[in-house]
Amino acid sequence: RAKDGSKNQFCFFTPQMGAESIKQMQLETELRKTIGTDRYELYYQPKVDTATRQICGVEALLRWKDADGNIQPPYEIIPILEHSGMIIEVGEHQIQSACQQLKEWQQKESPLNFALNISARQLLNSNLVETVRQAIAENGCDPQRLELEITESVIMADVTTALDKLQQLENLGVKIAIDDFGTGYSSLAYLSRFPIHILKVDREFVKDLPWNKDNITITRSIVELAHNLGMSVVAEGVETMAQEQFLANLGVEEFQGFHFGRPVPVAEFDRLYLNAPYPLHLTEKTF
Ligand code: C2E
Ligand code: MG
Ligand code: MG
Ligand code: MG
């Protein structure tokens, strides 16, 4: 029987299937086989404190190595992981490593925060709260340093469940961020009702700052809205000095983007940012 739903654990090839779907199934099989191995890797992208220009945390971004050793980006694999439900198990491993990493950083004089992306399936249909609670307890890490990023669509998919889960997560002390804010179809009403601590302005709006009048208006409004609701703001996709300066003037709390650093493997992250006298002051050479 061909795969017809997300619950099926096994896939079979049928003569009707095109080459493309066979390829997808082989990929799915391999993704499943390699869960828990180092074929899955989290790359770290630095997040920078606007006021001090010091690195204050990372966003962890998933990469997967195929059999030939090629690194596959999230858009190739996340939809498959999400659709098949494998994202739940992959996510459990990620939460473990996030808490281990936090613990390790806490032993330094200036610990970093760790942001992790959480998909709909993970928040709404898994035991995420318990997974997070256990990982924090086992590793003895500070929950305040763990940021879980969800998109507006995750909340809108099931407002009641999302509210319940987010409240439980907030009770654990972790921070909730809305990712890609402004691009989804969401109701502003939930923003004040939900335990949300951080808004991440989508790259789409940051892209042509400080010249595009509409994006200036949108970004300024998002920052004002967030601050009036007691949330802090992260600007994603910051690529230029002009963007940095403009966003700093708007009062954005944190930057993330190629201007400060690309997502890199952990060893590379340590080499680039942590082996310098800790914590690193960004210098021109890191840009
Ligand atoms: P996101 O959470 O919005 O992550 C930011 C994306 O923007 C990353 O792409 C990052 O590499 C890219 N980016 C950062 N700075 C810049 C910049 O200055 N310019 C440009 N052009 N791009 C920039 P990436 O790593 O390909 O991830 C894409 C999306 O996949 C993420 O968007 C997130 O929604 C999802 N994702 C990544 N890792 C995970 C994961 O472990 N779990 C889940 N559930 N989703 C993930
Ligand atoms: Mg994100
Ligand atoms: Mg984002
Ligand atoms: Mg984005």
Helical ranges in 143-231 per DSSP H: 152-157, 159-172, 188-193, 203-206, 213-228
Confidence of residue 279 (pLDDT cuts 50, 70, 90): very low
pLDDT given at position 286: 45
Residue nearest to atom 12 of ligand 1 (CA): 237
Q: Report the alpha-carbon distance of residue 59 to residue 52 in Å, rounded.
A: 18
Q: Element (H or E) spanning 7, and its range?
A: none
Pocket test for ligand 1, best of 117, 240, 287 (most atoms within 8 A of CB): 117
pLDDT given at position 218: 96
Say if ligand 1 is within 6 A of residue 74 CB: yes
Say if ligand 1 is within 6 A of residue 61 CB: yes
pLDDT given at position 5: 46
Say if ligand 1 is within 6 A of residue 119 CB: yes
pLDDT above 80 for 264:
yes
Say if ligand 1 is within 6 A of residue 73 CB: yes
User: Is the model's pTM score more than 0.80?
Assistant: yes
pLDDT above 90 for 190:
no
Q: Write the pLDDT tens digit of every residue in 144-170.
A: 999 999 999 999 999 999 999 999 999
pLDDT given at position 184: 86
| Residue 184: φ, ψ to 5° | -90, 170
Say if ligand 1 is within 6 A of residue 263 CB: yes
Tokens 């889960």 correspond to what residue? 165
pLDDT above 90 for 71:
yes
pLDDT above 50 for 277:
no
Q: Write the pLDDT tens digit of every residue in 204-224.
A: 999 999 999 999 999 999 999
How many A from CA of 15 to the centre of ligand 3? 40
- From the list 80, 83, 89, the residue with the least C-alpha distance to 37 is 89
Q: Which residues contact 78 (CB under 8 A, 6 or more apart)?
A: 62, 87, 119
Closest-lying ligand 1 atom to the alpha carbon of residue 200:
3
What's the CA dihedral at 86, 91, 96, 97 to 10 degrees?
110
Q: Report the alpha-carbon distance of residue 172 to residue 167 in Å, rounded.
A: 9
